[in-house]
Amino acid sequence: MAEINFLTKYQKATERDYVKRVLDGDKAACAEVAKKWGKDYWDGERKYGYGGYHYDGRWRPVAEDMVKYFDLKTGDKVLDIGCGKAFLLYELTQVVPGLEVHGLDISEYGIAHAKEEIREHLKLGDCTSLPWNDNSFDFVFSINTFHNLEIFGLEKAIKEMQRVSKSKAWLCVEAYRNEVEKANLLYWQITCMSFYNTEEWNWLYEKWSYQGDHGFIFFE
């Protein structure tokens, strides 16, 4: 199990005012709205989530890096757990024509507004119970989804991810390495339920027999 952070460049390109996030509006009320995973979360005001999440090609470099690292080829089956609007899945099909992609998300709105070219390959569902057989996919990944689960759901989700993967997998969550990053994460988050440092995440992966690779999002 290796740590690889495909999103490092993408994260550093985004500026965040952590204190303003807390002071502007009722953060608890915003979290309640965000956790409905509807229009407000995806395309509403920034305080509720993305503040408008539209296709702009930003995921292409990430797709290229993932294809290279995991040696993805035409005909491989790929699953994105927590795919949202599935922009990264779409980019993977552009980098590797003939890739068979599938996605799952809890947000009906996200799937309804996903990239039209692959919308038919997306399912509405819960990541703690995946509707696929064991060893169904050549590559399974999940980005910024599992930290939104409480620990009992987190265990189920990680074990489900391991179950449907033949071997290659990558899981990315929010984490912290020091008190500054911990404070920034607490200031910024509106949906996170599992707050752990990197050592704790690695301990959980080992405890639950997760064999894939992983990465982290840090709030520096």
Which DSSP string do the residues of 117-175 spell out, in sequence order? GGGGGEEE--TTS-SS-TT-EEEEEEES-GGGS-HHHHHHHHHHHHHHEEEEEEEEEE-
Q: Could you give the CA distance from residue 210 to residue 202 in angstroms, rounded to a whole number?
A: 9
The pLDDT assigned to 128 comes to: 97
Q: Using the predicted structure, report yes or no on whether residue 21 has a pLDDT greater than 90.
A: no
33/9: higher pLDDT: 33
Average pLDDT of the segment spanning 155-163:
98
CB contact at 8 A, 157 and 188? no
CA 97-129-206 angle, to 5 degrees, is: 85
Residues 6+ away with beta carbon under 8 Å from 47: 21, 24, 25, 27, 30, 190
Within 10 Å of residue 27's Cβ, how many Cβ atoms? 16
Average pLDDT of the segment spanning 176-185:
96
Q: Could you give the CA distance from residue 174 to residue 184 in angstroms, rounded to a whole number?
A: 11
Name residue, tokens 């009906």.
Answer: 108
Fold classified for 8-28+59-217: Rossmann fold (3.40.50)
